[in-house]
Chains A and B, each alone.
Chain A
Amino acid sequence: MQAIEAFLTGRIWIRQFIPFPQELIQAAIDQGDAIVASGISADGQCARCLETSPEYVIPYTCATCGTVCRYCRACIKMGRISSCTELVLWRTPAVINARPRAFGWAGNLTPLQESATKAISESIHKREDHLLYAVCGAGKTEILFFPVYEALQKGLRICIAAPRTDVILELSPRFKQAFPDAVIHTLYGDSPEQSGYGEIILATTHQLQRFQEAFDLLFVDEADAFPYSLDPSLERAVKKAGKRSAPVIYISATPSHALQKQITRHTTIFRRYHGAPLPVPAYRALWNYERHIRNGKIPPPLKKWIEDKLQKQQPFLLFFPSIQLIEQAIPLLQKIDSTIAAVHSKDPQRKEKVMQLRGGALSGLATSTILERGITIPHLQVAVIGADHRVFDRSALIQIAGRVGRSATDPAGEVIFFHNGITRQMDAARQEILFYNKEGKA
């Protein structure tokens, strides 16, 4: 396969940013291997992210083409697309190359994981969508390995999409180890360029928009998470990135009712891989916490909780509803213990700080909801400050509680919701965790 073909197959790319000489691109177009499409269609839809809303597709007088052009703000971070932008798509389908492949994963599956694996393989075989509804810590990634291995042997192109870069970065080394002879591309904002034809693509849902009719099989991890639950355009992106008959496997610990209804084939696992029940959140009132923190005081129940964890030398996460509140609280927390740090979504040292917490250099982290998914730290304890705040919905609270007790050596741990009044979302989260534990035992 030519390098340009390997790069462009399944992609939809701005012509001037294709990393090959223009003559080569022109030759491919002349031969009919590639076609050129307008960036914004005549009826105002972005060809890359499929946005149509006039709030995001903006008309202006363009000096490049001299007419009124429209440009798309929704996907502007990946390079702006306007009506006069040329997008290139590769038309010639890739040759399917079925052959035996290496499999580098030798772990064992629990019987529940085993049957989930079988059910997913069957859905893929029948080309049907599937929902894997499994609690936090059920061992979802291991469940995927075998179906991915089967598909790889058949020469299919596979995509694993997740909403957040952190999740993609955590999945990447595990997949590289499990499939040592496969070309695996890991794509997120600012990811380095990766050469060759990617057989397995690990991508954030945003990067998925740069593909079109590319994949024979898609896995959508954390299918409920932001920005999924908010953003129907990303669901369209999943459909656009897949070939017409490609099955989509959705994976979630907290699927929305809409998703559960939409997909008929389900597998549920309500039990963690180590068999112990999920920690059930406790409620503790923390009246007027915002005012206390603003006035320079950590409320006594919270202070006591932190001191208790410090004394037991257990790492902890403190979830706050806003960055502003973290900034007010962090100097106060550092007075209790100087090795408490803060992270939020804009923090470039996020990864390092999580590593330090894992290694013991930090005793605890004050965080926004950014750490609600994908992190695993042994002996972790969790407190939510202001669990009644609207950013903490049912699924966020379940995910947060799911950070605790993930290792087999210490499956217990404390989850505490400090609140200013109990909300329905808190109750729904707690009820659901109790339900999982009941179902998981049976």
Chain B
Amino acid sequence: MNCCLCDQALHFVPSWRGIFLYEAPELLCQPCRNEFSKTAGQGCKFCSKEGEEICRDCLYWEEHGYRDLIHSGKSLYCYNDAMKDWFHQYKFLKDVLLARVFAKDIREALAHERAMVVPIPLNNEKLRERSFSQVDQLLLAAGIPYRHLLEKYGETLGEKTRQERMATKQLFRLNGEAVPKQLVLVDDLYTTGTTMRQAAKILQEAGAESIRLLTLIRA
């Protein structure tokens, strides 16, 4: 077995834990694994951005009609060069296997979750083109049950500037499933927070009372 990022041979490291408990085989070599950087404990209470208790992006939303919408949130990793490469290979080269790289982190973050886990969807055209939903695959790899409540239509934010992103209205509609009181929205990348606020707004209007966020990466 080789490291699935650098393709160097993986050296099996025996451990006491491994003798007694089943451990999923490691996908990355240690040097590749070390390149990723986790977010620090403190930081923005919505997106884990380093610095203030509420970061500049999230403050904008709080001040522009999205106050008291989101209870709290967390991002697991920072967006550095290694993450950029991973993201590119996963999402744009469509290397589905790479969903497993962060399975453990996502499992730890959501294993004891009692609220419903709701992934951010892609629009159908994009889904057919990419052949998989990157958020669903992350959750599947982590073994976390989830349910879709939203449908995405129209445009994607990918190619937009910061101002265009923040000015976008209406990205989602409900898909008709019952909306529970408590839920956790899950996405891959948090850039300005537009996606998350839009999704949360619709779900709140449909009856959700406590909405929390989980993203893998904070850009």
Residues of chain A touching chain B, judged by Cβ–Cβ distance below 8 Å, are 55, 58, 60-64, 69, 71, 73, 76-77, 80, 82, 324
Contacts and interface: CB of A to CB of B under 8 A. Distances in A.
- The SS class assigned to the A binding surface is mixed
A63 B2 CA distance: 27
Contacts, number: 36
A294 B107 CA distance: 37
B128 A55 contact: no
B4 A73 contact: yes
Contacts of A82: 131
A80 B90 CA distance: 11
B129 interface: yes
Nearest to A323: B31
Given A55-B2, A73-B4, A64 B97 contact: no
Given A62-B132, A324-B31, 15 more contacts: A55-B2, A60-B96, A60-B137, A61-B132, A62-B131, A63-B128, A63-B132, A63-B133, A64-B129, A64-B131, A71-B96, A76-B93, A80-B93, A80-B94, A80-B95
Kindly state the interface size class of chain B when it binds its partner. Answer: 10 to 19
Contact of A60 (B1, B127, B132): B132
3 closest A-B pairs by beta carbon, nearest first, are A64-B131, A60-B96, A80-B94
A58 B97 contact: yes
Contact of B1 (A55, A64, A69): A55
Interface in B27-68: 31
B104 interface: no
Q: Which of A61, A63, A71 has the most CB of B within 10 A?
A: A63
B130 interface: yes
Contacts of B130: 63
Nearest to A77: B93
A63 B93 contact: no
Nearest to B1: A55
A159 B200 CA distance: 58
Contact of A76 (B95, B127, B132, B133): B95
A130 B6 CA distance: 34
A58 B90 CA distance: 14
B95 A73 contact: yes
B131 A63 contact: yes
Nearest to B127: A63
Contacts of B1: 55
B33 to A, nearest CB: 15
A64 B2 CA distance: 28
A82 to B, nearest CB: 7
Contact of B128 (A60, A61, A64, A73): A64
Interface in B93-115: 93-97
Contacts of A63: 127-128, 130-133
B219 to A, nearest CB: 23
A76 B94 CA distance: 8
Nearest to A322: B31
Contacts of B128: 63-64
Nearest to A80: B94
Given A63-B128, A63-B133, A71 B93 contact: no
Interface string B117-143: 000000000011111110001000000
Contacts of B89: 76
A374 to B, nearest CB: 22
Nearest to A59: B96
Contacts of B133: 63
Contacts of A80: 93-95
Contacts of A64: 128-129, 131
Q: Which of B93, B130, B131, B137 has the most CB of A within 10 A?
A: B131
A22 B44 CA distance: 49
Nearest to A64: B131
Contacts of B127: 63
Interface in B1-18: 1-2, 4
Contacts of B129: 64
Nearest to A324: B31
Nearest to B95: A76
B25 to A, nearest CB: 11
B131 A69 contact: yes
Interface in B65-106: 89, 93-97
A411 B39 CA distance: 56
Contacts of B96: 58, 60, 71
A63 B136 CA distance: 12
Q: Which of B89, B95, B96, B132 has the most CB of A within 10 A?
A: B96
A58 B137 CA distance: 14
Contacts of A62: 131-132
A61 B99 CA distance: 13
Given A63-B127, A63-B131, A64-B129, A71 B94 contact: yes
